[in-house]
Structure 1
Amino acid sequence: MKTSFQLVRFAFIGALNTLIHYLIFILLFRALGFAMITASVIGYFSGMINSFILNRRWTFQLSGPGFGSEFIKFAAVNIVSLGINILFLQMLVSFFDILPEISQVMAIIVALSVNFSGNKYWTFQHKSPRRGDL
C-alpha cells in the first residue's frame, strides 16, 4: 500500500486515539484531580492500545505471526513519542505559561510525526518478496 494511503489511515486512527487520549486527560486532570503528567500518561496509553490494534490490521494490513515483536516495537516507538509529548507539554506550560489543555494539543501534534515514522519504517515494516519468491 502506498505511503500516502497509509498516512491518511494512520491520521484517521491517530485522530481517534488523540480524542481518546485527550478526553481521558481532561477527565482525569479536571474532573478527578489527577496530576497533569499522570493524566496525560494514562490517556496516552489508552489511545496506544487502540492504535496498535487498528494500525496493525487496517493501516499496515498485517495479521498472523509477529504480533508480540510488533507490539514491543510499537510500545518502544510510543514511549519515545510519549516522552516527546510530555517534554513539550511541560515546556509549554512551565516556560510559556500556556494552559495545559492547549499545550496538550500542541504536544500531541509534535509527537505525531515521530510516531508515524517509527511505526511505518520499523514496527510495521513490510518485507517485500523478491521476484523469484512470488
Structure 2
Amino acid sequence: MKLVANINNYILEGKFKRISRFSLIGVLNTAIDFVFFTIFNSLFGVNYAVSQVIGYSLGVANSFVFNKKWTFQRGNTSKKLYKELFQFIVVNIVSLSVSIIFMKLLVKDYSLNVYISKIIVTFIAQITNFLAYKLWVFN
C-alpha cells in the first residue's frame, strides 16, 4: 500500500507531474467528447464529422479550464488570458481539422469502424495537443 502511495506521489508530484495531470484531464475530455459524439452520431443520426466537431468542442472547453488551472500552472502570469485562449483555439482547430481528415480517411478509404477511427484520431490529437500546449500555449 505504501509503495502505491509512493508511486502515485512520484507520478503526480514528481517528474511526470505535467504529463500525469494532462493524462487525467485528457481522460475526462475524451469521455466528454465520446459521450457527446455518440449522442449526436448514434442517437440523433448526425453525420460523424459534425458529431466530431460537437464532441471535440465540448472536450476542448473543459480542457482549457483544467489544463490552464491545474496541468500547466506557471509562476509567470503576465501572459494575457485572451492570448492564451487564442493560441489554445488555434492548436485545437488544427488538431480538430487533422482529426476529421484522418477520420474520413480511415472510415471512407479504409472502411474502418467510425468508433475505432475515433479512438485512433483521439490518440494522435492528444500527443499533438500536449506538445503544442507545453511549448506554445501555456509556456
TM-score above 0.5: yes
Partner residue of 2:24?
12
Partner residue of 1:46?
58
Partner residue of 1:105?
119
The runs of 5 or more residues in structure 1 that have no matched partner are: 126-134
Q: Distance in 2 between matches of 1:11 and 1:81?
A: 17
Q: Distance in 1 between matches of 2:48 and 2:67?
A: 28
Q: Distance in 1 between matches of 2:98 and 2:27?
A: 18
Residues 33, 113 of structure 1: alpha-carbon distance in 2 compared, 3 angstrom cutoff: same
Q: Distance in 2 between matches of 1:76 and 1:12?
A: 22
* Contact 1:29–1:36, Cα closer than 8 Å, also in 2: yes
Deviation at 1:64, TM superposition (A): 7.3
- The normalised TM-score by structure 2 is 0.84
What root-mean-square deviation, in Å, do the aligned CA atoms of Structure 1 and Structure 2 show? 1.7
The alignment status of 1:94 with 2:134, answered yes or no, reads no
2:98 aligned residue (44, 61, 84):
84
1:36 aligned residue (48, 58, 78):
48
Q: Distance in 1 between matches of 2:115 and 2:78?
A: 39
1:70 aligned residue (73, 81, 84):
84
* Contact 1:88–1:107, Cα closer than 8 Å, also in 2: yes
* Contact 1:84–1:110, Cα closer than 8 Å, also in 2: no
The runs of 5 or more residues in structure 2 that have no matched partner are: 1-12
Supply the AA of the counterpart residue of 2:130. F
Q: Distance in 1 between matches of 2:54 and 2:116?
A: 18
Q: Distance in 2 between matches of 1:12 and 1:64?
A: 27
Q: Deviations over 1:21-66 (max 9, x none)?
A: 1110000000011111000001000000000000000001156762
Deviation at 1:110, TM superposition (A): 1.1
> % of aligned pairs identical?
34
- 1:33 partner SS: coil
Deviation at 1:6, TM superposition (A): 0.5
> Quick check: 100-109 or 60-69, which moved more?
60-69
Q: Distance in 1 between matches of 2:126 and 2:99?
A: 9
> Quick check: 77-86 or 25-34, which moved more?
77-86
Q: Distance in 1 between matches of 2:127 and 2:93?
A: 14
